[in-house]
Structure 1
Amino acid sequence: MLDFVINTIIILVLLFVSYYLWKIGKERKENVLLLKMISLFILIHVVVFPIIYVLIIKNDPSSIEIDSKVLSFEKKSQLNNLELNYNKNDIDNQKLIIENILKNDKKLLEKETIYWFNDNDPFHEDEPDYSITTGSSTLYFYERDKEIPNEPYGRFIEVEPKDKSYKDFELKGDFEMSVIEILDKGLRRLELLSKERKNELKIIKSNKFWSYKEVLPYTINILFSDSFKPKKSFSQLVHFLHNVLVAVFLFGFIVSLLQNSLEDKKESNIEERLDRIEKTLKEIEDMLNGKRE
């Protein structure tokens, strides 16, 4: 989800820059061609073609041969992000602990009276104990209402495993949920995370992980880079058209710059000639005035 948001923001910013340059080009009298060329260059080269490459790779990774060093670097980066977002050890350990509690200590949790400590109120020593120790963990129970802004609210269970090789973790539920319901909800969430991790890992291993922001750096320099080599007919056609369009745009830039340079030089020559004519006329006028005197 975060990846999608980042890609969307980058594309929208580039589209805005392209539109803004085109708009300025229409309104200004100078450098009109140059501004419009840059606007189209950003739109086609920096936005449209990278998106097309992403679609091609996601549909069939074998359509484009990616440089081994580039592929290795990007795949390693994706695997690191996967572990940050879906840490396998944490997911597996938390699932194991919750399953153990539900299997061996469910009756204890159903029989015991649970006191939910209000996290918003100051702690008082005379309040009842709000923790229960099971065979594998100590569970702490507390709840938080909506008084604190930007803080999650509801009922919470903090799980502190007796085995210190496992990390403490927290489970969240609604106010009306029981301890068993919160544990069940936490277990379902972990099972979903485990499934999502397997799907993401499958995508990475099949080289279908590429998105706009990953492809962009390697397609900007498409004329002078071998990072992306088309292998199938459609990808070769796209690559060829991309190279031709980039070459045309670069030629257009050079022509536009030369045109602006010639126009500036022409205007400069005209100004110099007018200055010389004005100087000559002034000298003639001074001579005539001298003769009259």
Structure 2
Amino acid sequence: MVVNAEHKSGFVSVIGRPNVGKSTLINSLVGQKVVIMSDKPQTTRNKIMCVLTLDDAQILFIDTPGIHKPKHKLGEYMLKAAENTLREVEVIFFVVDATEEFGGGEKYILELLASVKTPVILVVNKIDKIEKTKLLPIIEKYSALYNFAGVVPISAIEHTNLDNLVLEVKKYLEPGPQYYPEDMVTDQPERLVITELIREKVLHSTRDEVPHSIAVDIEEILTRPNDTVYVRAVIYVERESQKGIVIGAKGQLLKDIGRLARIDIENLLGSKIFLDLWVKVKKDWRNKEGSLRGFGYD
């Protein structure tokens, strides 16, 4: 393959504590909703690659699960998935929340980065939520603890300073080819993205005791003669009481979840969707190797 010396490409791992805005940042950078978002911690469970194609570069962002102390086998998988990316990329984004105090989570991530030679850019997110005078002390705090390749304050949700963040990344990319077509924004199969979109709606719609117990499995996707795509999906929970919460009174909550998910899936596929949702119990699935593999966490 002949590579244009002016064209750059490379991988960027996006890491940070849960709920600092990593997924929102990546969606904003690629200009499309690819990875799911929620105000619930530990929303992202898999490594998901998203593609930003520019005239002079193609940047491949890897969204990782929030780094946290694991409480079950699923948590261990998520932590390993995040840590494994640190030596596989050209650049690392360490995303921090400007509204949160420096704590044990940030300290642990800096300890992980101490053994990494990859350039690390500190991305201070949610600057729209703090007074301007508070930004410099935050940057000084982190910069005193680690020799960052760059520091970029941003607001992912308001798209503030994202152009400068992309320019900062380009400094550390080598000349390379365009790996993926211009219209491709993720390497994930449609089935997995649909699964995640459904799970996002459950996260938004249920109470605190349910979200982390949720898994979604797509049992069937087929195109009917009228060009409507039929999708049958099962939402798994760990307890009978959680099943009742997800279904809701007279099935109303499940209907709302299906309606909201269908809108996003139709935007993704560009087709009319018939979404057939079911809820089943799979006890303690987060601690069972077989269940984790079955849901794609391997």
TM-score w.r.t. structure 1 length?
A: 0.23
TM-score w.r.t. structure 2 length?
A: 0.22
* Greater relative contact order (CA < 8 Å, ≥ 6 in sequence): 1
More helix, by proportion: 1
